[in-house]
């Protein structure tokens, strides 16, 4: 089950556009949902597997978006002492890679800074970081256009020298790009979690003194986890920028962080599938709700759905359902044919 379920979901997601036809509204919702789900998966790496809550996770996402947009748009800014930095536009795909690097580098700083300050302090450090970055984006008008937004961001083109290139113009193409990046992130996280590194993260989360006493380096482990998590959030931000083709400092809004935290917690933190399930539910909920109610009311429904889920399944949907299957199986009390346990990976 642990391998089958993700594969079945992937297959359905690959086939989904064939079933939907090219309904642009639905495709758009799926693309933004997919991007937020990648952000949720990246947050889960920290929140679910190391136990650290990054409430400023959107900073990495926004940094990815801005770095990618500026790389592909080019800029010309004065940085004081009469020095100007002029950057000619580079391909958007390079922007995507730089977004990952830049967000990962910021993750390194935050990780180094805050592995000593756990729990509530980590939350405060990440929230402050996000706010600082938002203020920079808002006020460094020469670079970011401030509230006027960066517009006409080029779309991503894939290709290799000599082989020509393939520009991702349509929604359908973007859908598959997001799906591919999401799948890659899922596989990376799955491999990490199942590895020696994943065991180190689990050890630190479950019993830190004991983990230290068997030689696990807390600072290094938490920093590496933060870097990978931030880099993935940056990748999601880059996809966002090149898909929407316009970004403003609102990408840093706190509500987005809340949304991805909800996705992780409702789906089941510390499970691989949790953020995917939570992401799909809470990403697509607006699609269902929008025709029938105002945005403000949608937020209330969001809250009600979250509370309802956590009331029935306190650990989230994926652990809840897995537990249900385990109980059903135990109740049948007959030899079970499947070899694999029902615990979610």
Partner 1 sequence: MSAILSVEQVGVRFGGLVAIADLHFDVREGEIVSLIGPNGAGKTTAFNVMTGFLKPSQGEVRFRGTGLTDLQPHEITRLGLARTFQRTSVFPDDTVFDNVMIGLHRQGAQSRRAPLLDALIGRAGASERRLRARAEALLDWVGLSERAGEKAGALAYGEQRLVGVALALATEPAMLLLDEPVSGMNASETQVFVSLIRQIRERGITVLLVEHDMPMVMEVSDRILVLNYGRLIAEGPPDRIRSDPAVIEAYLGQGKAARQAAAEVQEPAHA
Q: What token pair was written down for 223?
A: 């920093």
Radius of gyration of the chain (CA): 21
Rank residues 51 and 154 by Cβ distance to partner 1 and give the closer one. 51
As measured in angstroms, the least distance from the Cβ of 32 to partner 1 is 28
The backbone torsions φ and ψ at residue 48, rounded to the nearest 5 degrees and listed phi first, read -80, -35
Rank residues 220 and 245 by Cβ distance to partner 1 and give the closer one. 220
As measured in angstroms, the least distance from the Cβ of 339 to partner 1 is 14
Q: What token pair was written down for 121?
A: 């302090």
Rank residues 167 and 213 by Cβ distance to partner 1 and give the closer one. 213
Helix (H) or strand (E) holding 264: helix 254-267
As measured in angstroms, the least distance from the Cβ of 313 to partner 1 is 17
Rank residues 43 and 228 by Cβ distance to partner 1 and give the closer one. 228
CA atoms within 13 A on the CB side of 23: 11
Query: CA–CA separation, 182 vs 240, rounded Å?
Result: 13
As measured in angstroms, the least distance from the Cβ of 57 to partner 1 is 22
DSSP output for 86-148: EE----HHHHHHHHHHHHHHHHHHHHHHHSSS-THHHHHHHHHHHHHHHHHHHH-HHHH-GGG
Helix (H) or strand (E) holding 219: helix 218-244
The number of angstroms, rounded, from the C-alpha of 38 to the middle of its chain's C-alpha atoms is 3
Rank residues 255 and 339 by Cβ distance to partner 1 and give the closer one. 339
Rank residues 112 and 131 by Cβ distance to partner 1 and give the closer one. 112
As measured in angstroms, the least distance from the Cβ of 206 to partner 1 is 4
| Angle (deg, nearest 10), helices 254-267 and 295-312 | 30
Query: CA–CA separation, 21 vs 19, rounded Å?
Result: 6
Rank residues 116 and 245 by Cβ distance to partner 1 and give the closer one. 116
As measured in angstroms, the least distance from the Cβ of 46 to partner 1 is 16
Query: Residue 1 in contact with residue 342, Cβ under 8 Å?
Result: yes
Which of 16, 38, 48, 27 minimizes the C-alpha distance to 198? Answer: 48
As measured in angstroms, the least distance from the Cβ of 191 to partner 1 is 5
Rank residues 12 and 213 by Cβ distance to partner 1 and give the closer one. 213
State whether residue 53 is helix, strand or coil. Answer: coil
Provide the β-strand partners of residue 166.
158
As measured in angstroms, the least distance from the Cβ of 179 to partner 1 is 20
Q: What token pair was written down for 5?
A: 């379920």
As measured in angstroms, the least distance from the Cβ of 257 to partner 1 is 27
Binding site for partner 1 (CB under 8 A): 188, 191-192, 194-200, 202-203, 206-207, 209-218, 224
Rank residues 227 and 239 by Cβ distance to partner 1 and give the closer one. 227
Query: CA–CA separation, 1 vs 344, rounded Å?
Result: 8
């Amino acid at each position: 089950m642990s391998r089958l379920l993700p594969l079945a979901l992937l297959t359905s997601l690959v086939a989904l556009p064939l079933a939907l036809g090219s309904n642009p509204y639905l495709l758009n919702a799926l693309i933004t949902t997919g991007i937020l789900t990648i952000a949720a998966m990246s947050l889960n790496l920290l929140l679910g597997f190391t136990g650290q809550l990054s409430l400023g996770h959107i900073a990495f996402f926004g940094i990815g978006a801005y770095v990618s947009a500026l790389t592909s748009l080019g800029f010309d800014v004065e940085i004081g002492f009469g020095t100007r930095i002029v950057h000619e536009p580079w391909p958007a795909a390079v922007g995507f890679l730089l977004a990952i690097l830049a967000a990962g580098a910021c993750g390194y700083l935050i990780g180094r800074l805050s592995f000593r300050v756990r729990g509530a302090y980590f939350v405060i450090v990440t929230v402050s970081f996000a706010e600082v970055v938002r203020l920079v984006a808002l006020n460094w008008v020469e670079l970011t256009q401030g509230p006027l937004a960066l517009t006409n961001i080029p779309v991503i083109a894939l290709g290799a020298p000599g082989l020509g290139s393939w520009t991702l113009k349509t929604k359908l193409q973007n859908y598959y790009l997001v799906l591919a990046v999401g799948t890659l992130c899922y596989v990376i996280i799955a491999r990490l979690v199942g590895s020696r590194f994943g065991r180190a993260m689990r050890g630190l989360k479950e019993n830190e003194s004991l983990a230290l006493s068997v030689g696990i380096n807390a600072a290094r482990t938490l920093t590496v986890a933060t870097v990978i998590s931030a880099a993935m959030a940056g990748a999601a931000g880059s996809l966002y920028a090149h898909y929407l083709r316009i970004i403003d400092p609102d990408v840093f809004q706190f509500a987005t962080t809340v949304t991805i935290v909800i996705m992780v917690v409702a789906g089941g933190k510390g499970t691989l599938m949790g953020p995917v399930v939570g992401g799909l539910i809470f990403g697509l909920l607006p699609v269902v709700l929008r025709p029938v109610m105002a945005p403000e009311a949608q937020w209330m429904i969001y809250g009600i759905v979250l509370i309802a889920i956590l009331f029935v399944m306190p650990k989230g949907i994926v652990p809840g359902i897995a537990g249900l299957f385990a109980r059903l199986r135990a109740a049948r009390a007959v030899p079970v044919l499947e070899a694999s346990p029902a615990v979610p990976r």
